[in-house]
Every structure is written in structure tokens, then in C-alpha cells.
């Protein structure tokens, strides 16, 4: 079935702009009438940085395209400094208009916000004026997290104020982003211990107003940052109760090739199991590959394969959110310099998809339509629910663009433009819970069991 077939008809101008993406997706998707889904609808999503900064007509066209392609989850920063730019006095001085616009735009298109409760304010950080320094204390940040959940979470005041919108409350709250990277948490000397305190405080505050919401650790960057395994070990050593209270662990595998990415995911799951987090979900809240150093065809094949395999993998992954939807205006430049910021995106401004977008969205659709193997024996499950990893979906340009020499370079420095138009980048080189009892090798069974156990937790 075509991705656009069951959708309400948009305005004629918007239809014209949606045609390139619609055509590509319809060709890639093909017919499908499978009766069951291997992956829950919100397993897949995308990082939406930059989309809401587009002119209104383009913004609406992209949001419509995301929804028509089957996206249910959009990850985007929920900036504390934009809500509370000055220190509170006798009253909480929150300004919700900016975040209201985000929640409303996503809900209007039938998509749920996966917010990153992001960063300090100029008045609250350990380094005055630096929003990327750790909070000087946990109380103000925790109160912001509580207030955010009270507004946008289940039963939140925003939904009561806007009955015209479909109620799609936030169900996940990501606490910070990449706290193991100096770009987002300046001092790393005691970052694991300080971050553990922040997570504990924020989670407790959120649970007072949204007890069913899941609180996710800030995605840990697995590339030229503080070691993700040591960081998690130190968090749990500092706060042993995290073994029974962490809902999900965020993870950001930023490698170039499939083998390195899947190896990183599996090693991180082993570390989670070893520190007592066997029953916690792993949420891949960012995963990106720049085509400055890897061909479009290889990137497309990698994203497609991961999207098809992870829902039925042994890793307990419950979210997969690639970085990033919107491609730079420079995406089609014939020469790609060493600075790769412009080549993370998947869909051009005029809605022409890259080969990666076509491959990812088609694989997402297929994974959601694949039958589930509800067995608990490794031999019985095997890979029966997995879709065959056939030839990657490539465009002619992607198939011919080869950057093997550049992709093989050792130790490159990568930077990534951040969400909402910021130019901040990064540099990096190329169990007592019920779910813990699920045997390794049961694939999708482990992910579903973890999700069910988390939903049942107080």
C-alpha cells in the first residue's frame, strides 16, 4: 500500500511538494498485508531538528510527509533556557509558548513528541552563562522536569487547554543529551556521579505528576567521549538504586559501518546486563552517519538493515530514532569537504528523499508488518520474524558515489549541527525485574517483555 493512500488530502500546493517523497516511498514500500507487527508503531521515529525552523509552508509540508510516511515519534530538544531564561523569585516564571508550538505542531499531524529536557540556563549552570555546563544543583532542573511533565505528559494542562488537538501526551522524558560528552556536560571528572544525581531527582519529580511516564537517561555518545561503559558503571556504583529505578538507557552509536554499530549496541547491552540493568530498555535516541565519509548507498543499506533487525534482536532496544530528517541545502554539492555538518540529513527541503530516507522508511514499514515469533526458545525463534536482508535500496547517484578512501581514514573529527538552528557541534573519531528473566536470543520477545514490565512499574 502507498504511504499516502489512506491520508486526508492536503492542499494542492502541499500535494505538489509531497509528490517526490510520496513517489519514492510508494515504490520502495510495495504491497503489504501482514496481519501482525514485529515492532510497535512508536518503535521507530526520527530526530526532527531544523524542521520547525523552516518557513511555515515548508514546515507543514515536512510534518505532513513525516506523518504520511508512518512516523509516530519525533525527538526534539525541550530547552529549559527558553522556558525559564531568568532565575525564579517568589513565582515560577515559566514561558511555555515556544514549547506549546512544538507540542501542537506535532500533535496536529498525529505524532508524539520525544522531548530532550535539555541543558542548563544561563543562571543555573556551574559555569555562569554557559547552558552546556552541568546544573549547579538538581532542584531547579527537577522542578522544570516536573512542570514540563505536568503540562505535556498524560493528563497535562496543555491538552486540557487544547481540546481541538488529538491528545498525544509525552510518554518518554530524556534527561539531558550526551552527558558523557564535554560539548554537553563541560566537566567530565565527576560527570557520571553528578549526572546520576540529576537523573534520580528529575525522575522522582516527573513521577509525581506522570507516574506512567518513562524517564530515559540522556543518550550516551559512543564516539570520542567519556567511555560509555565506564560512565554507566560509575553511575550505578554511585547510586545502586538505579538498578531498579532506571526506566531506559539512552545510547548514541555514532560509527560509520554496520559491523561497528551493531557490535557497539551489543557490547553496551552486555554492560547494562552486567551492572544490573538487564530489565531496562535500551533506547537508541540518536544514530547518524554522515555521507561526507560514507557513500549514500552504504548509509542506506546500514540504516535499512538496522531498522529491520533491531526490533527482533536480542539487545532489548525499544526505540530507534535516526539523526536527522532534514538535509542541508548543501546536500547535493558535488564536493564534500572534511567538515561534514551538512551531510547527516535524509530528506531535502523540497522533499526529495535521499536513498537513506527511502530505505529507512521502507524498512520501518516492513518491520512493523512482519509477523511476531512468540517463542522463548532460541532455536525456535531464530530469525523467523526478521525480514531478509536483501540488496539495499539505492538511487543511481548513491550507487555511483564512492568515498571509500575518505571513509577509511583514521580518527576524523566530526561535528554535528544541533537542533533548532544551533551551530554547536562535536568532535569524535571515526536482575530482579520480570523482563530480566527472558532468555537471551528470544529477539522481539525480550523487547516486548521489557516494555511490558516497564509499563507495569510504579
Residue tagged 525527538 (cell numbers): 75
Name, in order, each residue with C-beta under 8 angstroms of 12's C-beta and a sequence gap of 6 or more: none
- Cα within 13 Å of Cα(400), Cβ side: 4
This prediction has a pTM of 0.81
Residue 444: the pLDDT is 54
- The distance from CA 57 to its chain's CA centroid, rounded to whole angstroms, is 25
Residues in the chain: 458
pLDDT, tens only, 423-432 = 334 333 333 3
Set of cell numbers at residue 315 = 539487545
Among 336, 247, 351, residue whose Cα is nearest residue 299: 336
Distances, alpha carbon 386 to alpha carbons 89, 301, 370, 452, in Å? 56, 16, 7, 21
CA distance 87 to 129: 12
CA distance 254 to 181: 13
Domains of the chain: residue spans and CATH: 12-456 (3.20.20.80)
Ordered DSSP codes for 369-436: HSPP----SHHHHTTTTSPP--SPP--HHHHH---HHHHT-SS-----PPSTT-----------SGGG
Residue 396: the pLDDT is 32
pLDDT, tens only, 369-400 = 865 433 222 222 222 222 222 232 232 333 33
Alpha helices in 41-115 (DSSP H): 56-68, 80-83, 97-108
Task: Sort strands 73-79 and 46-47 into parallel, antiparallel or unpaired.
Answer: parallel
CA distance 417 to 267: 28
CB neighbours of residue 100 within 10 Å:
15
CB neighbours of residue 141 within 10 Å:
24
Residue 336: the pLDDT is 73
Do residues 226 and 273 lie in contact, with contact meaning Cβ atoms separated by under 8 Å? no
- Which residues in the chain come in under a pLDDT of 50? 1-15, 29-37, 372-415, 417-442
Set of cell numbers at residue 299 = 548509509
Among 290, 48, 275, 67, residue whose Cα is nearest residue 168: 67
Residue 38: the pLDDT is 65
Do residues 47 and 86 lie in contact, with contact meaning Cβ atoms separated by under 8 Å? no
Residue 341: the pLDDT is 81
Amino acid at each position: 500500500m502507498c504511504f499516502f493512500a489512506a491520508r486526508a488530502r492536503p492542499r494542492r500546493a502541499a500535494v505538489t511538494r509531497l509528490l517526490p517523497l510520496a513517489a519514492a516511498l510508494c515504490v520502495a514500500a510495495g504491497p503489504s498485508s501482514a496481519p501482525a507487527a514485529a515492532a510497535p508503531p512508536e518503535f521507530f521515529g526520527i530526530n526532527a531538528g531544523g524542521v520547525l525552523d523552516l518557513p511555515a509552508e515548508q514546515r507543514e509540508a515536512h510534518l505532513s510527509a513525516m506523518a504520511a510516511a508512518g512516523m509516530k515519534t519525533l525527538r526534539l530538544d525541550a530547552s529549559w533556557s527558553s522556558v525559564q531564561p531568568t532565575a525564579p523569585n517568589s513565582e515560577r516564571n515559566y514561558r511555555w509558548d515556544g514549547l506549546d508550538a512544538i507540542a501542537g505542531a506535532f500533535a496536529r499531524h498525529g505524532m508524539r513528541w520525544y522531548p530532550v529536557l535539555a541543558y542548563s540556563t544561563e543562571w543555573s549552570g556551574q559555569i555562569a552563562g554557559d547552558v552546556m555546563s552541568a546544573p549547579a544543583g538538581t532542584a531547579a532542573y527537577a522542578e522544570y522536569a516536573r512542570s514540563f511533565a505536568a503540562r505535556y505528559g498524560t493528563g497535562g494542562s496543555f491538552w486540557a487547554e487544547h481540546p481541538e488537538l488529538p491528545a498525544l501526551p509525552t510518554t518518554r522524558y530524556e534527561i539531558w543529551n550526551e552527558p558523557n560528552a564535554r560539548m554537553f556536560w563541560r566537566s567530565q571528572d565527576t560527570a557520571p556521579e553528578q549526572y546520576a544525581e540529576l537523573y534520580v531527582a528529575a525522575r522522582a519529580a516527573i513521577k509525581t505528576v506522570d507516574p506512567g511516564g518513562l524517564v530515559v537517561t540522556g543518550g550516551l555518545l559512543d564516539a570520542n567521549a567519556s567511555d560509555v561503559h565506564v560512565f554507566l558503571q560509575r553511575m550505578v556504583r554511585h547510586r545502586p538504586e538505579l538498578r531498579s529505578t532506571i526506566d531506559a538507557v539512552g545510547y548514541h552509536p555514532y560509527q560509520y559501518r554496520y559491523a561497528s554499530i551493531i557490535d557497539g549496541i551489543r557490547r553496551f547491552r552486555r554492560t547494562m546486563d552486567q551492572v544490573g540493568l538487564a530489565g531496562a530498555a535500551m533506547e537508541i535516541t540518536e544514530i547518524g552517519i554522515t555521507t561526507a565519509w560514507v557513500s549514500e548507498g552504504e548509509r542506506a543499506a546500514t540504516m535499512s538493515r538496522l531498522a529491520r533487525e533491531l526490533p527482533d534482536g536480542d539487545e532489548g532496544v525499544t526505540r530507534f530514532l535516526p539523526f536527522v530528517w532534514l538535509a542541508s541545502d548543501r546536500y547535493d554539492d558535488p564536493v564534500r569537504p572534511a567538515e561534514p555538518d551538512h551531510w547527516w540529513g535524509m530528506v531535502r527541503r523540497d522533499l526529495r528523499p535521499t536513498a537513506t530516507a527511502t530505505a529507512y522508511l521502507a524498512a520501518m514499514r516492513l518491520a512493523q508488518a512482519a509477523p511476531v515469533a512468540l517463542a522463548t526458545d532460541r532455536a525456535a525463534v531464530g530469525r523467523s520474524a526478521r525480514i531478509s536482508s536483501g540488496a539495499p535500496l539505492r538511487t543511481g547517484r548513491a550507487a555511483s558515489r564512492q568515498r571509500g578512501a575518505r571513509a577509511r581514514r583514521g580518527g576524523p573529527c566530526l561535528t554535528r549541527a544541533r537542533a533548532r538552528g544551533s551551530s554547536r557541534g562535536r568532535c569524535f573519531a571515526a536482575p530482579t525485574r520480570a523482563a530480566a528473566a527472558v532468555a537471551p536470543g528470544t529477539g522481539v520477545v525480550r523487547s516486548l517483555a521489557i516494555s511490558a514490565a516497564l509499563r507495569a512499574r510504579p
